[in-house]
Amino acid sequence: DVKVTQSSRYLVKRTGEKVFLECVQDMDHENMFWYRQDPGLGLRLIYFSYDVKMKEKGDIPEGYSVSREKKERFSLILESASTNQTSMYLCASSLPGINEKLFFGSGTQLSVL
Amino acid sequence: QQQVKQSPQSLIVQKGGISIINCAYENTAFDYFPWYQQFPGKGPALLIAIRPDVSEKKEGRFTISFNKSAKQFSLHIMDSQPGDSATYFCAASGYALNFGKGTSLLVTP
């Protein structure tokens, strides 16, 4: 089975801190994604990557950046955390092709105080 | 701007009943329509998916009905069970998956 592992289940940070959310997948998938999930808003795409060192903006990239130095690892960076970035962050991976099944991690619940 | 509109936001169904969740989209370029199921504390997982050249797809108790002309699709859960209680997301594929806002389903015993 594909495993997508997110480094932290819960994270509490202070406003203005630089925050790193890490995601690792073990199935050699080319595609990786970061979504945030908020009650009543569903899943919104922040960034995605179709290859190492490649990144594309999703629907809500403002305030975020990403890094993909190795195929299996995709990091989400909050340059200066703000309270409106308090959310559940979900990482996902898939095989090449936009219609492929997404495999999600269990999520990181980030609270910015 | 939400590209996929999902309703209802929440749904309560008795055990053995039929659960119906509806979604609508605008972009005719979308060509893949999956449904994801999410249990508390877990990430979403693919449940069933359909392509627009098919009007219906059934997998066990789960059926997707697709109406291309109306740009609508729906998930039907037959003989709903308490174990089906979860959040369901419809999605449509553009350059990446666009998700609906989700439906929280509760199946009562």
B84 φ, ψ (degrees, to nearest 5): -85, -10
Domains observed in chain B? 4-108 (2.60.40.10)
Between these two residues, B52 and B79, which has the higher pLDDT value?
B79
Instruction: Please name which of B93, B81, B98 lies closest in space to residue B14, comparing C-alpha atoms.
Output: B81
Q: What tens digit of pLDDT does each residue of B80-100 get? A: 999 999 999 999 987 788 999
Length, in residues, of chain B: 109
Total domains in chain A come to 1
Chain B residues touching A106 at Cβ < 8 A: 41-43
pLDDT at A100: 72
Render pLDDT for A53-98 as a digit per residue (tens, 0 to 9).
889 999 999 999 999 999 999 999 999 999 999 999 999 999 887 6
Question: Domain holding A86: CATH number?
Answer: 2.60.40.10
Interface test with A, best of B59, B97, B103 (most A CBs within 10 A): B97
Determine the structural domain holding residue A69 and report its residue range.
4-112
Residue B81 corresponds to which amino acid?
A: Q
CB contact set of A84 (below 8 Å; sequence gap of 6+): none
Q: Looking at residue B95, what is its pLDDT? A: 75
Catalogue the E-assigned strands of chain A. Answer: 4-6, 10-13, 19-25, 31-38, 42-49, 56-57, 64-70, 73-78, 87-94, 103-104, 108-112
Q: How far is A93 from chain B (nearest CA, A)?
A: 12
pLDDT of residue A98: 60
Residue of A nearest to B32 (CA): A99
- The residue of chain B nearest to residue A45, with distances taken between CA atoms, is B98
